[in-house]
Amino acid sequence: MQALEYAMKKTMYEKIWDSHLVVDEAGQAPLLYVDRHLMHEVTSPQAFEGLKISGRKVRNPHSILATMDHCVPTKNRNLPIADPIAKKQIETMADNCRENGLNLYDMQNPNNGVIHVVVPEHGFVHPGMVVVCGDSHTATHGAFGALAFGIGTSEVEHVMATQTLPQKKSKTMQVVVNGSLSKYASAKDIALAITGKIGTAGGTGYVIEYTGSAIRELSMEGRMTLCNMAIEAGARAGLVAPDEKTYEYLKGREFAPAGDYWDQAVAYWKSLTSDEGAEFDTTIVLEGADIAPQVSWGTSPEQVVGVDGVVPSPESFADEGKRKACEGALAYMGLTANTKITDIPVDLVFIGSCTNGRIEDFRIAAEVAKGTKVAPGVTALAVPGSYHVKKQAEDEGLDKIFIEAGWEWRDPGCSMCLAMNGDELTKGQRSASTSNRNFEGRQGKGGRTHLVSPAMAAAAAAAGHFVDIRTL
Amino acid sequence: MEPYLKHDSVAALMDRSNVDTDQIIPKQFLKKVERSGFGIHLFHDWRYNDDGTDNAEFELNKPAFKGAKILVAGDNFGCGSSREHAPWAIADYGFNTIISTSYADIFYNNCFKNGILAIRVSQEQLDKVMAEISANEGVRFTVDLENQQVITPAGNGFSFEIDPFRKGNLLSGLDDIGLTLKHVDKISAYEVQHKQTFPWLWA
């Protein structure tokens, strides 16, 4: 009997998985039901084309929320898009959404912004849902206790046609962050520290659940930043159990349960947390107080170090693959081993993206930027994650702080996170960026990206090099 | 999707780890609304010089690897973004098989949707196969999916594991959506129950 009870203890992931199984038969992949399907212009056109060719229809148009974010300009929005191929992609998105009756926040819509910033603002994702999007940073919505993961375009088509996806069950990993973060360390630093610790393939095959007091202390925005980068550690998804902060955040938003349904929904959400004693396949433990503000030095998000550290030398890696990767990264990044991180100069600073483009990010950055001036020769871009974030920031006077400090205050979009819209680094330029990937060429061919938190980015803009914000 | 047939092809070597999807297909090529024509952009930033000529230093530009259908690469191949443009570019270039120790999750799924067989091998096995290509560039391997075997001239062949569902789909070239829609009654039944349990999601 005791053994049976033990066996019935489930993690949150297992609960969500079990409640969404439509078909689970031998000889084929289990079919999982999809509650919410998010879309943007880059990964959807070929899926709509496939649907049309096969004569299939969108099964549940109400499950879809779409935006335009990757290719949209962040200035002069009123002018036509200069790049004809991007323009066609944007127009195709609008046509596809209109033809299929989908809810689209287009470029001029006051709800427009980066998909993973917009969706939570409208309460479109709730705890316990299965959420997909043709975008690896879909993991963001795990912050609400939803199983949210990125899919390819063929799968986008599959979900539109069937509202389901064949899936393989993942293993479970618990990442515990004990204690509290030190001042100026943030969710971004936790995410980078985890990736540094387990590597970009460390989470492959796993769904991560983040637990521990330092996670509980994070705001919803912080939890979104953390889950957003679960994919950078290779995980299928990241999850944070819902709590009062989650309910408080959701209550009253457009797509949140209303009226009598609210209490019913909250009661259900409370049942989702991992059972006491449920087993995870792997557990990793970090101490919150040990996490320094992080700076990536290489061309993979696992190549990261505390701001008080130095650029490592290839010889410091025992593993041959990592040693070679370090050599390649130093050459690409134009860095010499043992250089102090705080001695690395920057040319451009970017605050924004689905990782760090929310109101809290701009509040923290503005606090650091207040009364400073962008260093000579440095360009600094503040790109809100959505029009709502932009408006909120302007209502709080944050835009003035940035503008007075010499920053550009832009319209929302993915912008320099992946540099598809014309905002990009030129060859050899070096950025301090609050985005999520420092791959070669990610921010422009030959561009050199250092991933940091918003506070670290703002400090670097003023100094012209990285600064240990704990010493400010 | 074309059925995956047994073949005998040149195996190209890419001795790099963590090859990410931004390298496989840089973002400037993601604006197209069609599925085809991505092959010429595969590995663009490594493959071409700034003036657009071929970079002779880049491994896939070696004459010996011309026409290769098999790509042998280091750990964690395809990490990063979910862009299916990555396997589209790989397939359009001519590859239908990748051999590595590990792949990023989304990329791995995307491969099988596009007729690409992504084979996982042990580090030891990968080292042997890589050494064989290094010693004899242009060497041809035989890939037999039916019997889950790779055969090499120097005897470094191996058998590999693959999910039977994925294998079946590759061999038959079947459309996933068609298979799922065989269960449409079960999907409808699930939705009826879902509406009763979670009425707020349908309100």
- Contact state of B176 with A166 under an 8 Å Cβ cutoff: yes
Supply the pLDDT for residue B175.
81
Q: Are A130 and A147 in contact (CB under 8 A)?
A: yes
Contact between B106 and A89 using a beta-carbon 8 Å cutoff = no
Identity of the residue in B18, B103, B106 whose CB atom sits nearest the CB atom of A300: B18
Best probe of the B interface among A19, A20, A28, A323, by most B CBs < 10 A, is A28
B26/A300 touch (CB, cutoff 8 Å), yes or no: no
Q: Which residue in B has a C-alpha nearest to residue A41's C-alpha?
A: B31
Query: Looking at beta carbons, which residues of chain A come within 8 Å of B192?
Result: none
Reduce the DSSP state of residue A392 to 3 states and report it.
helix
B47, B90, B177: best to mutate for the A interface, most A CBs within 10 A? B177
Under a CB-based contact definition with an 8 Å cutoff, are residues B173 and B3 in contact? yes
pLDDT higher for B175 or B139? B139
Chain A residue with Cα closest to B15: A321
Chain B residue with Cα closest to A328: B16
Question: With the C-alpha atoms ordered A244, A245, A249, A250, is the resulting torsion angle positive or negative?
Answer: negative
B34 burial via Cβ count (<10 Å: 0-12, 13-18, 19+):
exposed
Asked if residue A210 lies in contact with residue A456, where contact means CB atoms within 8 angstroms, the answer is no
Asked if the Cβ–Cβ distance from B82 to A126 is below 8 Å, we say no
Structure confidence at residue A472 (pLDDT) = 87
Cβ-in-10-Å burial (0-12, 13-18, 19+) of A108 comes to exposed
Chains A and B: how many Cβ contacts under 8 Å? 180
pLDDT score at A6? 53
Inspect the interface and report whether the beta carbons of B199 and A86 lie closer than 8 Å.
no
* E strand segments, B15-167: 70-73, 97-100, 117-120, 140-144, 149-151, 158-159
Section B164-189 average pLDDT: 92
Cα of B13 to nearest chain A Cα, Å: 16
Confidence at residue B142, expressed as pLDDT on a 0 to 100 scale: 98
Please, are residues A118 and A112 in contact by the beta-carbon 8 Å criterion? Answer: yes
Facing residue for A234 by CB, picked from B30, B105, B164: B105
Cβ <8 Å between B26 and A445: yes
Assigned token pair, A392: 């909120």
Q: Which residues of B touch A155 (CB under 8 A)?
A: 109-110, 113
Of B17, B22, B31, the CB nearest to A85: B31
How far is the C-alpha of A44 from the C-alpha of A155, rounded, in Å?
Answer: 10
Pairing of strands B140-144, B7-14: antiparallel
- Tens digit of each residue's pLDDT, chain A (472 residues): 445 555 689 999 999 999 999 999 987 889 999 999 999 999 999 999 999 988 999 999 999 999 999 999 999 988 889 899 999 999 999 999 999 999 999 999 999 999 999 999 999 999 999 999 999 999 999 999 999 999 999 999 999 999 999 999 999 999 999 999 998 899 999 999 999 999 999 999 999 999 999 999 999 999 999 999 999 999 999 999 999 999 999 999 999 999 999 999 999 999 999 999 999 999 999 999 999 999 999 999 999 999 999 999 999 999 988 999 999 999 999 999 999 999 999 999 999 999 999 999 999 999 999 999 999 999 999 999 999 999 999 999 999 999 999 999 999 999 999 999 989 999 999 999 999 999 999 999 999 999 999 999 999 999 999 999 999 8
Cα of B30 to nearest chain A Cα, Å:
6
Asked if B174 has any chain A CB less than 8 Å from its own CB, the reply is no
Structure token digits, residue A316: 């410091």
Predicted pLDDT at A28:
83
Chain A CB contacts of B102 below 8 Å:
201, 204
Helix, strand, coil: what percent of chain A each, to 5? 40, 15, 45
State residue A300's pLDDT score: 97
Distances (CA, A) of B85 to A57, A444, B90: 23, 18, 8
Predicted pLDDT at A7: 60
pLDDT digits (tens, 9 = 90+) for B54-112: 999 999 999 999 999 999 999 999 999 999 999 999 999 999 999 999 999 999 999 99
Say if B78 is an interface residue toward chain A (CB within 8 Å).
no
- Shortest CA gap A183–chain B (Å): 30
A178: exposed, middle or buried (Cβ count in 10 Å: 0-12, 13-18, 19+): middle
Question: Which B residues, 99 through 128, put their C-beta within 8 Å of a C-beta on chain A?
Answer: 102-106, 109-110, 113-114
CB contact under 8 Å between B76 and A418, yes or no, is no
A342/A329 Cα distance (integer angstroms):
18
> From B167, which residue of chain A is nearest by alpha-carbon distance?
A28
Check A234 against B76: CB less than 8 A apart.
Answer: yes
Predicted local confidence at residue A273, as pLDDT: 97
Whether B84 contacts chain A with CB within 8 A: yes
